[in-house]
Chain A
Amino acid sequence: MNYRKYLYGTFLTAALLSCSDMEEQPYGIINSTTFYKTPEDAESAIVYCYSILPEVGYYSRGYTIVTELPTENLTQKGDAGTSNFELDELRTTATNSNLDDMWTYIYRGISRANGVITNVPNIAMNQTTRDQIVGEAYFLRALHYFNLVRMFGEVPIRLQTIDTPTQIPLAKSPVKDVYDLIIADLKQSEQLITVPRISEGRANKVAAQGLLAKVYLHLASSKSSASPGYEFVSNADEMYTQAAAYAGKVVNEQTTFAFTDNLVDIWNTEIYKKAAVSEHIFDAAVDRSGDREGSFSKLPNMFLPADRPMEIVYNPSDPASAKINIGQGWSHFRTEANLYNNYADDDKRKTDLIVSKYWNAGTEYNLDITSSSRPFTRKYIDPLRIGDASSCNTPIVRYSDILLVYAEGVGPTTEGYAAINKIRARAGVGDLAPGLSVDAFRKAVVEERANELAFEGNRLFDLRRTNSMEEVLVNKYGKTITSGAYFFPIPQREIDTNPLMKP
């Protein structure tokens, strides 16, 4: 019978098929076995490291929430989530979802940077380019740990990308070890990167110097003000000197980034993204043509009132200035009266950089600092935005910030006075009283930073490093601090899932 032939045929087929093993042939997957091979891979790997920065959980919303709400700068709308209220009222808990996000995104960034630091040095390629890419990864790792240590204090130090779950258990390291790593990474970065500017959104030699100056200043002032957790710093003055030295490199030894004379131009995306010289030493970069939040930014919507589309005068100090249309937002953040009233009435940082008046269909509307739609910062506006998609970068290292770091570092010297008065002159508030003591001068610089750098994520850390959370927030502004004054609680999710983190 011929069916037997068929039968044998079937069995042969079955036997052959069964010999093919059950190994999975992946599709659309790149992983450690197929990546980190070519110069293009190296380039792509560092791009991936940067892409964490403008994510919603990091610089395009999360960082602003975590660093600005606790201060006198911002509060939030009435129906915001519990986590916002906890931050605003300084009663943070380990289950705060904003802090959980922050922690998570930072460590994702660290994992990505570690991937580059471990793998890119083995790629055969042009050494200068390779050094630069690895240098950028060191910069980013340092930035992430600097954010972590300023927010949470003692944290686990991870220097490798995880490849099995057995690597998960890891205990916290002392604050000192975290700073040692940050300084070592930034010094590596400053050496490996040779060019002052690579492109928008990428770190560079100047950024490494600027960030290093901020790190030393944090150590210096924390020590000299006896801020909790910084007892390990041996010599505050030495740290001030280092801060001044590195800030000096930014202020005196390069011309790629410089002071912008006109306040509103600092925040004009079409200027700072395109100009040859700008204040934006390093930003988390976005563009409105991006395809998702994280490649564009919705941070402006957090500030802008929700009532109606708004037209504002581009430069209130210039009578001839045209109106620009900036759309409307979600009124999520509300500017606090504490900050608003702290400015002198003619401080241009109030009159030009905080919008308190707008037009809609010819009608003028005034914003009241006590209502739900309040005057708002115009550091994050984009007249060319598409829908909710804006091109507003979040600044991470800005020239004026480093100029003030320099002033604080050098103290009441000629250079110090020159630096702070340059900032004050631009704001139209006149020179700082001469002849101040070292402490008084540094205190004045910190106050200047409050006005100059508001809404840029500096104030909380300035208050912490000067040990003045209570002095300013409680005594001056009447807040209550229940928890999270100097360090936020480490997220419960980490404590629950990392066996060596158990308290």
Chain B
Amino acid sequence: MIKRRLLYYLTVLFFLVPWVVQAQSDGLVTGTVKDGQSQPLPGVSIMVKGTSTGTTTDADGKFKLQVGSADATLVFSFVGFQSQEAKVGSQTEFNIVLTEDISTLQEVVVVGYGEMKKSDLTGSVATLKGDNLNKTPASSMDQLLQGKIAGVQVITNGGQPGSGATIRIRGASSLNGSKDPLVVVDGYPWGDAGNLKQINPDDIESIEVLKDASAAAIYGSRGANGVILVTTRKGRSGSPRITFNTLQTVSTLAVKPDVWRDPVEQATYDNEAATTGGSSPADIPFIGTTRGGVYYPSIAELRGLDPNKPQWPYNTDWVDLVYRNPHSQSYTLTADGGSDKTKYSISGNYYKEDGLVIANGYDKYTGRMNLDQKLTNAVTVGTNVILAYTNSRGQQLGAGRSPIWPVYDANGDYFKTSATDFGNPIALANELYNKTKTFDLLASVYANIKITDWLQFRTTLNTKFGNSVQDQYDPINSTQRALDNKGSYGSIVNGNYNDLLNENYFTINKTFGDVHVITLTGGFSIQKTTNRFSTLTGQNFVNDVLQNENLGSAGTMLISNDLQRFGLQSWYGRANYVLKDRYLFTLTGRADGSTKFGADNKWAFFPSGAVAWKIHEENFMQAIPAVSDLKLRASYGLTGNQGIAPYQTQDRFGSYKYYVGTGFKTGFGPGFAGANDEQGRTVVSGLGNSKLKWETTKSFDVGLDIGILDQRFTLTADYYIKNTSDLLRLQTIAPSSGFDRQWINDGEISNRGVELGLNAEVLTTDALTWTVGANFTMNRNRVVSMGESDRVLIGTLYESVRQQISTYTVNQPMYAFYGYKTDGIIQTLEEGIKAGLTGRDAEPGEIKYLDISGPEGKPDGVVNELDRTIIGNPNPNFIYSFNTNVRYKQFDFSAQLYGVQGNDVFDFQKMSPSRQLQRWTLDNPSNDYPRANNSRGYRASDFFLTDGSFLRLQNVTVGYNLPSETIKGVKSLRVFFSGNNLYTFTGFHGGFDPEVGELSINNGSYPRPRAFTLGLNIGL
């Protein structure tokens, strides 16, 4: 414990304490200039300081320059990079590495439908360069955003290969509609963030996050959850550059699972639990009897102390059988280059990730091509094509099975304790067939026309085609699902996704004198989406030979198909006005028309406005030259959310079959049975609502940007208030109407919070550079109103506590936990009865639930449903991260820490075997863990709640860059070693990973691997 704390402090110190390190200083000089990735930089300007003597680097980044004296200083500068100076001295050969200028005010950032100088931004836009993504295997880019940007919360649900992530920008703001940000790749809105598998992280040039209404309103009805803009690498003119990147990764379990290791301890516990639970003596499990054809050894036998029986031969190590240390690989080959007229960038990637769990893995192939061609001085055309193919197999398996049982029985078949025992993970891994293949093609063509110096027109045609096929087969009597499907289950699930988008917009850029700069953007777009699904299911197969290969041979066949078609038309515009390079004004608006909404509300308009004041440009600031940037920003605007399925406004009939002796007949009539509710009951909708419309989010943002010492130290701070109203909500309606739910607009959610982003270039010298960054996000979420309901239970109905545990409750944050309050463990029967408990629940060793209310709203001496209340909040108080980067000569080092503070986790795994060993007994009157009792019906209570705060050493990378031309023909070579998910500081359940998803419910998620990666980048 002490050791861990020490390690914690040391690590924090490392990031926070700014070391003070001293920096150090005729004829022809030569040299090479490269970027941080050891790529040669062509076109870098090299000037002798204070003179007009200078040159530029050639296509290979090389230069030659005649300098007058040894006292001269060379200045290396290049757009997008920090300038660097070097004293000539006696040196004649210079190997310069330019650092990309992350914080420079001249940096251009991508905004919706255009680009802007960072210094001219009025809204809240965060930028992340592709190079700053952690070098670790990630099947989707989303996972790599964790901890990178203030205000962006990324939650990964576990470590299953191919799984995505949940992204929330400035909190969740919808009850039943989508809460995911919009992802826009190279100007093409793809849809909800969460599983951006089509993009190879190596291909990412930059990621911009539009957080406030001023920035996101240009995306109108899809902007309320924030927007993530992804820009892929483009070709640069110059000779071809070929790069090869690879990652070779070995993963391990980060924490050893808490399972029974000693069969005797487990059997003792189970017997004790049965006795306490009131089982008849014959039903005590481990007493050396045969039940249902399975022999249950006695404890003496397990110990090897029974004189008449041999020592029990099994102590199966399920953890060892289920988990492995998989090897994963990624290879990317990129070629880019071009001329004045043509620019290209082509890449291909193969990615293979094997899961920690046996027989579980994910493969991915992606290809990408960007091509730009200047046809005339005025017209540029281009295309961008992305192909992605994925293949995933297997599933998660449990390792908590009793070590008393073997894997195989005496006949060599999988051992089962009964006909309905489906818990043997080895049987499941080997017998179940589960494969999903996806294919995606994304393509854009554009033409950009410079009509005059100041007027441009751009038109694009974008299309997205996706296809997915899932094959599944559960052999005869192998799973509960097989049993529920008349013995065996086979299926093929097909999905087809088509999207077509045409965008047309003008951009005007005009400067009037030195005083007025105006940028106007305006255009029109039309988008159509068609998603098509079909599911073929077979039940009750003759045998398992064909698996799902001939579903027509099934005893019972089921077919279902569906199609969703929706369209969006939009007019949008933005005006930026810069006065005296000091006062910035932005007006943005978008009018969206959507087919999804009711006849009365097809169109909506989303305006926003923002102002910014560059204080550092004012005369009175000239006296403080150290302040290189001081900008105050404020914005207010409206954005929308249309994240519901189509056809919700229409009246729809349902269909059922009924048996009439000669066979089944199909009926149609009022009431459309949609998905089942959380209790597994059919939910009937189908009542139209012609008034259905968008959710509207009103957001206010005020921000401050500070830069000191030529942007060596920068701080960005934002405060925001987001109020979302007209929530798209599935309202519960009176069941006597014949319907259960209807989509309506009703209710309000508020989010408010603070974001801080800090960056410091502690050192920037020729040989040594060191940067430190940190960000901090604090969001407060609250359900303000929900129509006629004060509380709605949501999420899974957990069988073990027989209720749903997450809620939307008015005046509470979303997902607040609902259940009983507890006060430790009952120590005497009197105490239990006094607490309002009865029967076995009142006995010593049971959980002491509290009687806090009753029919009259005050304690009534009985613990029942009325005593349930809000017991916890799964939303963190704040999230934060630190990162650092050190480069010393050819070596570099980077590290990232990510932390979440103050959230409650509902830990269904709380009573794990190590806790069961600490159970309450007469000799050990524990106040933490209840006695063994197999008839206990746990109630959802704060007994299960645990603080989920953690600080994770997310990534550490050490790299070495080989000096240029060490190997002939190799322009650059970089080797690095990267460790991911290295250690988690947490008080949660024996160090288990408390990051378990947005609802913060730990029900045994897929373990997040600790990954060690060896990487190689070669540039030719």
Contacts and interface: CB of A to CB of B under 8 A. Distances in A.
Contacts of B91: none
B378 A494 contact: no
Question: For this complex, into which size category does the number of interface residues on chain B fall?
Answer: 35 or more
A386 B653 CA distance: 31
A55 B673 CA distance: 12
Contact of B659 (A23, A290, A501): A290
B687 A49 contact: no
A47 B653 contact: no
Interface string A469-503: 00000000000000000000001011011100100
B668 A32 contact: no
B20 interface: no
Contact of B660 (A11, A17, A100, A201): A201
Interface string B645-680: 011011111111111111011111111000000010
Contacts of B736: 103, 107, 155-156, 158, 170, 494, 498
A107 B569 contact: no
A18 B668 contact: no
Contacts of A386: 486-487, 540, 555-556
B484 interface: yes
B385 interface: no
Nearest to B599: A23
A50 to B, nearest CB: 5
A112 B669 contact: yes
A289 B557 CA distance: 10
B733 A165 contact: yes
Contact of A10 (B504, B540, B659): B504
Contacts of B908: none
Interface in A1-59: 1, 3, 6-7, 10-11, 13-14, 17-18, 21-32, 35, 41, 43-52, 54-55, 57
Nearest to B803: A82
Contacts of A387: 483-487, 539-540
Interface string A160-187: 0111110110100000000000000000
B656 A48 contact: yes
B762 to A, nearest CB: 51
Interface string B723-762: 0000000001111111110100000000000000000000
A479 to B, nearest CB: 18
B629 to A, nearest CB: 40
A426 interface: no
Given A26-B647, A81-B802, A388 B292 contact: no
A381 interface: no
A308 interface: yes
A384 to B, nearest CB: 12
Nearest to A202: B660
Interface string B916-941: 00000000000000000001010000
Contacts of A318: none
Contact of A108 (B292, B593, B602, B671): B671
A493 B658 contact: no
A107 B737 contact: yes
Interface string A242-283: 000000000000000000000000000000010000000000
B563 interface: yes
A202 B487 CA distance: 30
Contact of A44 (B485, B646, B666): B666
B292 to A, nearest CB: 7
A104 interface: yes
B661 A201 contact: yes
Contacts of A108: 671, 684, 735, 738
A202 B652 CA distance: 26
Interface string B862-898: 0001000000000000000000000000000000000
B668 A285 contact: no
B566 A24 contact: yes
B462 to A, nearest CB: 14
A287 B664 contact: yes
Given A24-B649, A387-B483, A387-B540, A14 B671 contact: no
Contacts of B539: 291, 387
A14 B526 contact: yes
B868 to A, nearest CB: 12
A11 B504 contact: yes
Interface string A85-110: 00000000001010011011001101
B535 interface: no
A389 B556 CA distance: 11
A46 B669 CA distance: 9
Contact of A48 (B540, B661, B667): B667
A3 B734 contact: no
Contacts of A27: 562-565, 647
A24 B595 contact: yes
B658 A295 contact: yes
A27 B531 CA distance: 11
B447 A111 contact: no
A29 B652 contact: yes
A35 B668 contact: yes
B594 to A, nearest CB: 7
B595 A199 contact: no
B687 A14 contact: no
A53 B467 CA distance: 39
A11 B647 CA distance: 30
A493 B595 contact: no
A307 B655 CA distance: 38
Contacts of B794: none
Given A31-B653, A108-B684, A163-B687, A14 B524 contact: yes
B558 interface: yes
B681 interface: yes
Interface in B754-774: none
Nearest to A113: B669
B650 A31 contact: yes
A78 interface: yes
A389 B486 contact: yes
Given A51-B658, A295-B658, A25 B565 contact: yes
A18 B526 contact: yes
B738 A29 contact: no
A115 interface: yes
A22 B569 contact: yes
B647 A493 contact: no
Nearest to A155: B736
B792 to A, nearest CB: 11
Contact of A1 (B378, B564, B565, B659): B378
Interface string B459-489: 1000000000000000000000001111100
A165 B660 CA distance: 34
Contact of A111 (B449, B540, B667, B671): B671
A497 B659 contact: no
A347 interface: no
B658 A497 contact: no
Interface string A383-408: 00011110000000000000000000
Contacts of B600: none
Nearest to B732: A497
Interface in A101-159: 101, 103-104, 107-108, 110-112, 115-116, 155-156, 158
B788 interface: yes
Contacts of A45: 667-669
A286 interface: yes
Contacts of B706: none
Contact of B734 (A6, A55, A81, A497): A497
A493 B657 contact: no
Contact of A22 (B524, B595, B734): B595
Contacts of B689: 165
A452 interface: no
16 contacts: A17-B569, A22-B569, A24-B647, A45-B668, A46-B667, A47-B667, A48-B656, A57-B682, A104-B681, A108-B735, A111-B737, A165-B733, A287-B659, A295-B656, A386-B555, A493-B732
Q: Which 6 A-B pairs have the closest CB atoms?
A: A111-B738, A48-B667, A200-B661, A47-B667, A387-B486, A48-B669
